[in-house]
Amino acid sequence: MILVTGGAGFIGANFVLDWLAQSDEPVINLDKLTYAGNLNNLASLRDDPRHVFVKGDIGDTALVASLLATHQPRALLHFAAESHVDRSILGPAAFIETNVNGTFALLEAVRAYWGGLPEADKSAFRFLHVSTDEVYGTLGPDDAPFTETTAYAPNSPYSASKAASDHLVRAYHHTYGLPTLTTNCSNNYGPYHFPEKLIPLIITNARAGKALPIYGDGQQVRDWLYVSDHCAAIRRVLAAGRLGETYNIGGWNEMANLDVVHTLCDILDVLDPKERSPLREAVGRGMDASYRDQITTVTDRPGHDRRYAIDAGKIERELGWKPAETFETGIRKTVQWYLDHQEWVRDVHSGDYLKWVEKQYGR
Protein backbone atom coordinates (compact mmCIF):
# COMPACT_ATOMS: atom_id res chain seq x y z
CA MET A 1 0.00 0.00 0.00
CA ILE A 2 0.93 3.65 -0.28
CA LEU A 3 0.72 6.44 2.29
CA VAL A 4 -0.47 9.82 1.02
CA THR A 5 -0.29 13.06 3.04
CA GLY A 6 -2.74 15.88 2.29
CA GLY A 7 -5.08 13.57 0.39
CA ALA A 8 -8.20 15.56 1.33
CA GLY A 9 -6.97 18.71 -0.44
CA PHE A 10 -7.34 19.65 -4.08
CA ILE A 11 -4.51 17.73 -5.77
CA GLY A 12 -4.21 15.03 -3.09
CA ALA A 13 -7.90 14.11 -3.38
CA ASN A 14 -7.71 14.01 -7.18
CA PHE A 15 -4.63 11.81 -6.85
CA VAL A 16 -6.30 9.35 -4.43
CA LEU A 17 -9.44 9.14 -6.60
CA ASP A 18 -7.40 8.58 -9.78
CA TRP A 19 -5.10 6.07 -8.04
CA LEU A 20 -7.99 3.91 -6.84
CA ALA A 21 -9.72 4.20 -10.23
CA GLN A 22 -6.66 2.63 -11.82
CA SER A 23 -5.36 0.18 -9.21
CA ASP A 24 -6.46 -1.82 -6.22
CA GLU A 25 -3.43 -0.90 -4.16
CA PRO A 26 -4.78 0.57 -0.89
CA VAL A 27 -4.12 4.13 0.24
CA ILE A 28 -3.59 5.40 3.78
CA ASN A 29 -4.55 9.07 3.67
CA LEU A 30 -3.10 11.28 6.45
CA ASP A 31 -4.61 14.76 6.48
CA LYS A 32 -5.04 17.35 9.21
CA LEU A 33 -8.25 18.69 7.61
CA THR A 34 -7.27 22.34 7.71
CA TYR A 35 -9.65 24.82 6.04
CA ALA A 36 -8.39 23.40 2.70
CA GLY A 37 -9.00 19.73 3.51
CA ASN A 38 -12.46 18.46 2.68
CA LEU A 39 -13.74 14.92 3.13
CA ASN A 40 -16.54 15.67 0.65
CA ASN A 41 -13.80 15.44 -2.01
CA LEU A 42 -13.51 11.75 -1.11
CA ALA A 43 -17.23 11.05 -0.64
CA SER A 44 -17.19 8.41 -3.39
CA LEU A 45 -14.69 6.37 -1.32
CA ARG A 46 -16.75 6.40 1.89
CA ASP A 47 -17.41 2.64 1.85
CA ASP A 48 -14.29 1.65 -0.03
CA PRO A 49 -12.01 -0.56 2.09
CA ARG A 50 -9.04 0.37 -0.12
CA HIS A 51 -9.06 3.89 1.37
CA VAL A 52 -8.16 4.44 5.03
CA PHE A 53 -8.49 8.04 6.17
CA VAL A 54 -6.54 9.23 9.23
CA LYS A 55 -7.05 12.74 10.59
CA GLY A 56 -3.68 13.96 11.82
CA ASP A 57 -0.70 16.25 11.41
CA ILE A 58 2.41 15.35 9.41
CA GLY A 59 4.34 16.97 12.29
CA ASP A 60 3.03 14.37 14.75
CA THR A 61 6.04 12.05 14.63
CA ALA A 62 4.51 9.43 16.93
CA LEU A 63 1.39 9.18 14.77
CA VAL A 64 3.38 8.98 11.52
CA ALA A 65 5.74 6.37 13.03
CA SER A 66 2.80 4.24 14.13
CA LEU A 67 1.11 4.50 10.71
CA LEU A 68 4.34 3.44 9.01
CA ALA A 69 4.89 0.55 11.43
CA THR A 70 1.30 -0.68 11.19
CA HIS A 71 0.72 -0.39 7.45
CA GLN A 72 4.27 -0.87 6.10
CA PRO A 73 3.73 1.26 2.97
CA ARG A 74 6.01 0.78 -0.01
CA ALA A 75 5.90 4.53 -0.74
CA LEU A 76 4.95 7.85 0.80
CA LEU A 77 3.60 10.62 -1.41
CA HIS A 78 3.80 13.98 0.31
CA PHE A 79 1.11 16.47 -0.82
CA ALA A 80 0.28 18.06 2.56
CA ALA A 81 1.11 21.75 2.70
CA GLU A 82 -0.20 25.21 3.26
CA SER A 83 -0.60 26.14 -0.40
CA HIS A 84 -2.06 29.63 -0.90
CA VAL A 85 0.39 32.46 -1.62
CA ASP A 86 -1.94 35.23 -0.40
CA ARG A 87 -2.45 33.48 2.93
CA SER A 88 1.33 33.13 3.28
CA ILE A 89 1.62 36.90 2.90
CA LEU A 90 -0.99 37.60 5.58
CA GLY A 91 0.24 34.86 7.96
CA PRO A 92 3.50 33.06 7.13
CA ALA A 93 3.86 31.13 10.42
CA ALA A 94 1.58 28.24 9.41
CA PHE A 95 3.63 27.82 6.22
CA ILE A 96 6.87 27.41 8.15
CA GLU A 97 5.16 25.08 10.61
CA THR A 98 3.69 22.67 8.06
CA ASN A 99 5.83 23.06 4.95
CA VAL A 100 9.22 23.26 6.67
CA ASN A 101 8.91 21.77 10.17
CA GLY A 102 6.20 19.32 9.12
CA THR A 103 8.22 18.03 6.17
CA PHE A 104 11.27 17.72 8.42
CA ALA A 105 9.30 15.71 10.99
CA LEU A 106 7.91 13.48 8.24
CA LEU A 107 11.38 12.87 6.82
CA GLU A 108 12.68 11.92 10.25
CA ALA A 109 9.85 9.44 10.83
CA VAL A 110 10.35 7.96 7.36
CA ARG A 111 14.12 7.74 7.81
CA ALA A 112 13.65 5.69 10.99
CA TYR A 113 11.08 3.38 9.35
CA TRP A 114 13.05 2.97 6.12
CA GLY A 115 16.30 2.29 8.01
CA GLY A 116 14.67 -0.74 9.66
CA LEU A 117 13.28 -2.34 6.49
CA PRO A 118 14.74 -5.55 5.02
CA GLU A 119 17.17 -4.79 2.16
CA ALA A 120 14.73 -5.56 -0.70
CA ASP A 121 11.96 -3.37 0.78
CA LYS A 122 14.49 -0.68 1.56
CA SER A 123 15.60 -0.34 -2.03
CA ALA A 124 12.01 -0.54 -3.34
CA PHE A 125 10.77 2.22 -0.98
CA ARG A 126 10.06 5.73 -2.38
CA PHE A 127 9.49 9.13 -0.75
CA LEU A 128 7.87 11.33 -3.38
CA HIS A 129 7.76 15.03 -2.52
CA VAL A 130 5.19 17.13 -4.38
CA SER A 131 6.48 20.65 -4.92
CA THR A 132 5.96 23.72 -7.04
CA ASP A 133 7.51 25.75 -9.85
CA GLU A 134 7.33 28.83 -7.58
CA VAL A 135 10.63 27.81 -5.95
CA TYR A 136 12.40 29.10 -9.09
CA GLY A 137 11.12 32.65 -8.64
CA THR A 138 9.94 34.82 -11.49
CA LEU A 139 10.75 35.11 -15.23
CA GLY A 140 11.01 38.05 -17.60
CA PRO A 141 8.91 37.95 -20.79
CA ASP A 142 11.75 36.56 -22.94
CA ASP A 143 13.43 34.27 -20.40
CA ALA A 144 13.61 30.55 -21.12
CA PRO A 145 11.20 28.39 -19.05
CA PHE A 146 12.38 26.89 -15.74
CA THR A 147 14.39 23.67 -16.04
CA GLU A 148 15.43 21.33 -13.22
CA THR A 149 18.79 23.16 -13.04
CA THR A 150 17.35 26.68 -12.73
CA ALA A 151 18.64 28.25 -9.49
CA TYR A 152 16.13 28.50 -6.64
CA ALA A 153 14.94 32.09 -6.02
CA PRO A 154 11.64 31.90 -4.08
CA ASN A 155 9.88 35.25 -3.57
CA SER A 156 6.92 34.61 -1.25
CA PRO A 157 6.77 33.04 2.21
CA TYR A 158 4.90 30.14 0.55
CA SER A 159 7.53 29.50 -2.12
CA ALA A 160 10.36 29.99 0.39
CA SER A 161 8.81 27.36 2.65
CA LYS A 162 8.40 24.95 -0.27
CA ALA A 163 12.00 25.62 -1.36
CA ALA A 164 13.18 24.79 2.17
CA SER A 165 11.24 21.52 2.08
CA ASP A 166 12.74 20.64 -1.31
CA HIS A 167 16.24 21.23 0.10
CA LEU A 168 15.52 18.99 3.08
CA VAL A 169 14.33 16.20 0.79
CA ARG A 170 17.43 16.60 -1.36
CA ALA A 171 19.66 16.47 1.74
CA TYR A 172 17.98 13.30 3.05
CA HIS A 173 18.78 11.58 -0.23
CA HIS A 174 22.33 12.89 -0.41
CA THR A 175 23.21 12.27 3.24
CA TYR A 176 21.18 9.22 4.25
CA GLY A 177 20.47 7.65 0.87
CA LEU A 178 16.70 7.95 1.39
CA PRO A 179 15.12 7.02 -1.98
CA THR A 180 13.50 10.35 -2.77
CA LEU A 181 11.85 11.86 -5.84
CA THR A 182 10.76 15.50 -6.14
CA THR A 183 8.28 17.00 -8.60
CA ASN A 184 8.00 20.74 -9.28
CA CYS A 185 4.69 21.48 -10.96
CA SER A 186 3.03 24.54 -12.44
CA ASN A 187 -0.48 25.87 -11.63
CA ASN A 188 -3.11 23.14 -11.49
CA TYR A 189 -6.84 23.54 -12.12
CA GLY A 190 -9.80 21.15 -12.19
CA PRO A 191 -12.39 19.53 -9.89
CA TYR A 192 -12.29 20.11 -6.09
CA HIS A 193 -10.11 23.25 -6.42
CA PHE A 194 -10.70 25.40 -3.34
CA PRO A 195 -12.30 28.71 -4.39
CA GLU A 196 -9.62 30.92 -2.85
CA LYS A 197 -7.48 30.22 -5.96
CA LEU A 198 -7.97 32.20 -9.19
CA ILE A 199 -9.91 29.79 -11.43
CA PRO A 200 -12.50 28.46 -8.95
CA LEU A 201 -12.80 31.92 -7.36
CA ILE A 202 -13.72 33.44 -10.73
CA ILE A 203 -16.22 30.68 -11.57
CA THR A 204 -17.98 30.84 -8.21
CA ASN A 205 -17.93 34.65 -7.92
CA ALA A 206 -19.23 35.04 -11.47
CA ARG A 207 -22.21 32.79 -10.81
CA ALA A 208 -22.94 34.62 -7.55
CA GLY A 209 -23.02 37.97 -9.39
CA LYS A 210 -19.94 39.17 -7.47
CA ALA A 211 -16.86 41.11 -8.60
CA LEU A 212 -14.10 39.16 -10.40
CA PRO A 213 -10.91 40.51 -8.80
CA ILE A 214 -7.84 40.91 -11.02
CA TYR A 215 -4.63 41.74 -9.20
CA GLY A 216 -2.76 44.70 -10.75
CA ASP A 217 -2.76 44.76 -14.55
CA GLY A 218 -3.72 41.08 -14.94
CA GLN A 219 -0.74 40.46 -17.22
CA GLN A 220 1.00 38.01 -14.87
CA VAL A 221 1.59 34.73 -16.66
CA ARG A 222 1.04 31.22 -15.28
CA ASP A 223 1.48 27.80 -16.93
CA TRP A 224 -1.78 25.91 -16.37
CA LEU A 225 -2.06 22.12 -16.07
CA TYR A 226 -5.24 20.06 -15.67
CA VAL A 227 -5.02 18.27 -12.32
CA SER A 228 -5.46 14.71 -13.64
CA ASP A 229 -2.41 15.28 -15.87
CA HIS A 230 -0.43 16.21 -12.75
CA CYS A 231 -1.66 13.02 -11.05
CA ALA A 232 -0.60 10.92 -14.06
CA ALA A 233 2.84 12.55 -14.01
CA ILE A 234 3.26 11.75 -10.30
CA ARG A 235 2.29 8.10 -10.89
CA ARG A 236 4.88 7.95 -13.68
CA VAL A 237 7.63 9.50 -11.53
CA LEU A 238 6.78 7.10 -8.70
CA ALA A 239 6.98 4.13 -11.06
CA ALA A 240 10.11 5.03 -13.00
CA GLY A 241 11.75 8.23 -11.72
CA ARG A 242 15.47 8.12 -11.01
CA LEU A 243 16.29 8.31 -7.31
CA GLY A 244 17.29 11.72 -5.94
CA GLU A 245 16.13 13.44 -9.14
CA THR A 246 13.70 16.30 -9.55
CA TYR A 247 11.17 16.47 -12.39
CA ASN A 248 9.45 19.62 -13.65
CA ILE A 249 5.80 19.11 -14.61
CA GLY A 250 3.87 21.64 -16.68
CA GLY A 251 1.23 22.08 -19.33
CA TRP A 252 3.24 23.94 -21.99
CA ASN A 253 0.44 26.40 -21.63
CA GLU A 254 1.32 29.93 -20.58
CA MET A 255 -1.52 32.39 -20.18
CA ALA A 256 -1.93 35.88 -18.74
CA ASN A 257 -4.41 36.03 -15.85
CA LEU A 258 -6.73 38.41 -17.68
CA ASP A 259 -6.94 36.00 -20.64
CA VAL A 260 -7.77 33.15 -18.25
CA VAL A 261 -10.56 35.22 -16.70
CA HIS A 262 -11.92 36.27 -20.10
CA THR A 263 -11.96 32.60 -21.17
CA LEU A 264 -13.89 31.62 -18.04
CA CYS A 265 -16.44 34.40 -18.57
CA ASP A 266 -16.93 33.43 -22.21
CA ILE A 267 -17.47 29.75 -21.35
CA LEU A 268 -19.95 30.70 -18.61
CA ASP A 269 -21.80 33.00 -21.02
CA VAL A 270 -22.43 29.87 -23.14
CA LEU A 271 -22.87 27.12 -20.51
CA ASP A 272 -24.74 29.19 -17.90
CA PRO A 273 -26.06 32.38 -19.53
CA LYS A 274 -27.18 34.93 -16.97
CA GLU A 275 -30.63 35.17 -18.56
CA ARG A 276 -31.21 31.49 -17.67
CA SER A 277 -29.47 31.63 -14.26
CA PRO A 278 -30.45 33.02 -10.84
CA LEU A 279 -28.93 36.32 -12.09
CA ARG A 280 -31.74 36.82 -14.65
CA GLU A 281 -33.61 39.23 -12.35
CA ALA A 282 -30.46 41.34 -11.92
CA VAL A 283 -30.10 41.37 -15.71
CA GLY A 284 -33.72 42.53 -15.91
CA ARG A 285 -32.75 45.37 -13.57
CA GLY A 286 -29.88 46.43 -15.87
CA MET A 287 -26.92 44.13 -15.01
CA ASP A 288 -24.80 43.44 -18.11
CA ALA A 289 -25.56 40.04 -19.65
CA SER A 290 -21.89 39.06 -20.02
CA TYR A 291 -19.88 37.82 -17.03
CA ARG A 292 -16.93 39.88 -18.32
CA ASP A 293 -18.71 42.97 -17.02
CA GLN A 294 -18.06 41.78 -13.42
CA ILE A 295 -14.25 41.99 -13.85
CA THR A 296 -12.70 44.46 -11.38
CA THR A 297 -9.09 45.50 -10.88
CA VAL A 298 -7.88 45.30 -7.27
CA THR A 299 -4.62 46.08 -5.46
CA ASP A 300 -1.79 43.84 -6.63
CA ARG A 301 -0.36 40.99 -4.53
CA PRO A 302 2.82 42.21 -2.75
CA GLY A 303 5.92 40.76 -4.44
CA HIS A 304 3.72 39.26 -7.17
CA ASP A 305 5.77 36.97 -9.46
CA ARG A 306 5.34 38.16 -13.03
CA ARG A 307 5.75 34.97 -15.02
CA TYR A 308 6.15 31.23 -14.48
CA ALA A 309 6.89 28.82 -17.31
CA ILE A 310 7.93 25.18 -17.07
CA ASP A 311 10.17 23.24 -19.41
CA ALA A 312 8.68 19.76 -18.98
CA GLY A 313 11.13 18.19 -21.45
CA LYS A 314 12.96 16.00 -18.91
CA ILE A 315 9.88 14.06 -17.75
CA GLU A 316 8.79 13.64 -21.38
CA ARG A 317 12.20 12.40 -22.55
CA GLU A 318 12.96 10.15 -19.56
CA LEU A 319 9.52 8.92 -18.54
CA GLY A 320 7.35 9.47 -21.60
CA TRP A 321 4.84 11.73 -19.81
CA LYS A 322 3.11 14.66 -21.42
CA PRO A 323 -0.22 16.32 -20.69
CA ALA A 324 -3.33 14.75 -22.21
CA GLU A 325 -5.54 17.85 -21.84
CA THR A 326 -5.19 21.16 -23.63
CA PHE A 327 -6.27 24.30 -21.77
CA GLU A 328 -9.36 24.47 -24.01
CA THR A 329 -10.54 20.95 -23.11
CA GLY A 330 -9.51 21.10 -19.45
CA ILE A 331 -11.03 24.47 -18.66
CA ARG A 332 -14.38 23.56 -20.24
CA LYS A 333 -14.52 20.35 -18.17
CA THR A 334 -13.64 22.37 -15.08
CA VAL A 335 -16.39 24.96 -15.56
CA GLN A 336 -18.89 22.14 -16.22
CA TRP A 337 -17.73 20.37 -13.03
CA TYR A 338 -18.46 23.48 -10.96
CA LEU A 339 -21.88 23.84 -12.59
CA ASP A 340 -22.63 20.20 -11.79
CA HIS A 341 -21.39 20.36 -8.16
CA GLN A 342 -23.16 23.34 -6.66
CA GLU A 343 -23.69 21.52 -3.36
CA TRP A 344 -19.91 21.04 -3.02
CA VAL A 345 -19.45 24.78 -3.63
CA ARG A 346 -22.16 25.66 -1.08
CA ASP A 347 -20.50 23.45 1.57
CA VAL A 348 -17.08 24.98 0.95
CA HIS A 349 -18.47 28.51 1.25
CA SER A 350 -18.57 28.14 5.01
CA GLY A 351 -18.14 30.76 7.70
CA ASP A 352 -14.36 30.37 7.62
CA TYR A 353 -14.24 30.96 3.88
CA LEU A 354 -16.31 34.11 4.21
CA LYS A 355 -13.92 35.41 6.90
CA TRP A 356 -11.03 34.90 4.46
CA VAL A 357 -12.80 36.77 1.66
CA GLU A 358 -13.51 39.67 4.02
CA LYS A 359 -9.85 39.79 5.13
CA GLN A 360 -8.39 39.54 1.61
CA TYR A 361 -10.82 41.53 -0.52
CA GLY A 362 -12.67 43.58 2.10
CA ARG A 363 -10.52 46.55 1.21
Nearest to ligand DAU of 57, 254 (CB atom):
254
Asked if 81 touches ligand NAD (CB under 6 A), the answer is yes
| Residue selected from 33, 52, 287, 319 as contacting ligand NAD according to rule CB under 6 A | 33
Which residues bind to ligand DAU, rule: CB under 6 A?
83-85, 132-134, 186-187, 197-198, 201, 213-215, 220, 222, 257, 301, 308
What are the distances in angstroms from CA 277 to CA 206, 247, 274, 296? Answer: 11, 43, 5, 21
Site string for ligand NAD, 193-232 (x = CB under 6 A): -x--------------------------------------
Nearest-angstrom CA–CA distance, 363 and 359: 8
Please name which of 172, 176, 206, 204 lies closest in space to residue 293, comparing C-alpha atoms. 206
User: Binds 194, which of ligand DAU, ligand NAD, none (CB < 5 to 8 A, cut-off by type)?
Assistant: ligand NAD
User: To 10 degrees, what angle do helices 327-340 and 198-207 make?
Assistant: 50
Among 2, 3, 9, 107, binds ligand NAD (CB under 6 A): 9
Rounded CA separation 45/26 (Å): 11
Q: Which does 102 bind (CB under 5 to 8 A by kind): ligand NAD, ligand DAU, none?
A: ligand NAD
Q: What is the set of active-site residues?
A: 133-134, 158
Quick one: DSSP state of residue 129?
Answer: E
List binders of ligand NAD among 121-150 (CB under 6 A): 130, 132
CA distance 191 to 196: 14
Binding residues for ligand NAD, rule CB under 6 A, total 30
The binder of 214, among ligand NAD, ligand DAU, none, by C-beta within 5 to 8 A per type, is: ligand DAU
Could you report how far apart the first and last alpha carbons of the chain are, in Å? 48
Task: Report the residue from 26, 59, 157, 190 that binds ligand NAD according to the rule CB under 6 A.
Answer: 59
**Shortest spacing between CB 65 and ligand NAD, in angstroms:** 15
Q: Across 238-283, where does the E strand assignment appear?
A: 246-249, 254-256
Q: Closest separation between CB of residue 77 and ligand DAU, Å?
A: 16
Nearest in space to 188 (alpha carbons), one of 251, 268, 146: 251
Quick one: which of 362, 309, 348 has its CA closest to 191? 348
Q: Cα–Cα distance between 345 and 208 in angstroms, integer?
A: 11
Q: Rule CB under 6 A: which residues touch ligand NAD?
A: 5-6, 8-12, 31-34, 36-37, 57-59, 79-83, 98, 102, 130, 132, 162, 185, 187-188, 194
